Amino acid sequence: MTLPVKFTEDVRALPTHAFGHRSLTWWGVVAFFLIEGTAFALAIGAYFFLEGVEDNWPPDPWLPPGLLWGTLFTILILASEIPNTIVKRAAERHDLATARRYMLILLPIFGLLLLFRALEFTTLNVRWTDNAYGSIIWALLFLHLTHIVTDIVDSLVLTALIHTGHAAENRRIVDIAENAMYWRFVWLTWLPIYALIYWVPRWVS
């Protein structure tokens, strides 16, 4: 015989969405940061291991990667945090119109970033098959590219979604806010990788 139930707590007034650590999406994204952050940490560890066992970095006769596209990429991705912050804050105050407008503004920025990233691969001055230095440089840039592509696809899908009737659903506005948080992870992880690909080979050689 199981115990008879007694209703002691009514939750009907509770909201069906919340931001930040009250949202399951937020916890999912943070767990994703931990996993992917570990992948970056392992790649950075591999970079310094290889750098330590080589006589020169980059090994002779290779030249360090060209600075132009990587630096333009860095400036643009830092600047993209301005519309990204506007999107996040708009989402958190349920201002769907502003979030929508600035997500559209982000689209051409994403396009330019992809173009700069493609050009970065052409000016690395090494191929991944050449030596261990080339392998880890390509691995770092490709690893970060996967995050760029992932966030851009996420943003495209979300931008399309909030132009349908589903935009009225409360959890979509949480999706927008957490997607904006993911973009911060993408550009924050880029900063050390930018230094490792473009500047460490210049500083240590």
Partner 1 sequence: MMGERLGKAGFWMIFLGFQLAFFPMHLLGMWGMPRRVYTYPSGMGWDEMNLLATLGSFVVALGFLLFILNAVKSLYAGRVAEPNPWDAPTLEWATASPPPQYNFAHIPVVTSRVPLWDNRNHLPVVTGLRVDDRELLLTTVMDARPDVREPSALPSIWPLWAALSTTCLFISSIFTPWAVVIGAFPVGAALIAWFWPKSPLSPEPVIE
Among 127, 163, 166, 202, binds partner 1 (CB under 8 A): 166
Closest-CA residue to 155 (of 120, 125, 92, 110): 110
**CA–CA separation, 68 and 52 (whole Å):** 27
Q: Would you state the structure tokens that stand for residue 117, as one six-digit string?
A: 């990233």
**CA–CA separation, 37 and 16 (whole Å):** 30
Among 81, 92, 95, 169, binds partner 1 (CB under 8 A): 169
**Which of 17, 89 has the CB closer to partner 1?**
17
- Say how many C-beta atoms besides its own lie within 10 A of residue 102's C-beta: 21
**Which of 81, 154 has the CB closer to partner 1?**
154
**Which of 8, 52 has the CB closer to partner 1?**
8
Q: Which stretch binds partner 1 (CB under 8 A): 49-57, 59-67, 84-92, 163-171?
A: 163-171
* Binding map of partner 1 across residues 104-143, x = CB under 8 A, - = no contact: ----------------------------------------
Is residue 191 near partner 1 by the rule CB under 8 A? no
Is residue 157 near partner 1 by the rule CB under 8 A? yes
In DSSP notation, 140-168 reads HHHHHHHHHHHHHHHHHHHHHHTTSGGGG
Burial of residue 165 (number of CB atoms within 10 Å: 0-12, 13-18, 19+): exposed
Report the greatest alpha carbon distance in the chain.
Answer: 81
- Smallest gap from Cβ 41 to partner 1, in A, equals 21
**Which of 10, 55 has the CB closer to partner 1?**
10
**CA–CA separation, 115 and 100 (whole Å):** 24
Instruction: Answer whether 58's CB lies under 8 Å from 64's CB.
Output: yes
Is residue 22 near partner 1 by the rule CB under 8 A? yes
Is residue 1 near partner 1 by the rule CB under 8 A? yes
Is residue 23 near partner 1 by the rule CB under 8 A? yes
Is residue 34 near partner 1 by the rule CB under 8 A? no
Judged by the rule CB under 8 A, the positions of this chain that interact with partner 1 are: 1-18, 21-24, 149, 153, 157, 161, 165-166, 168-169, 171
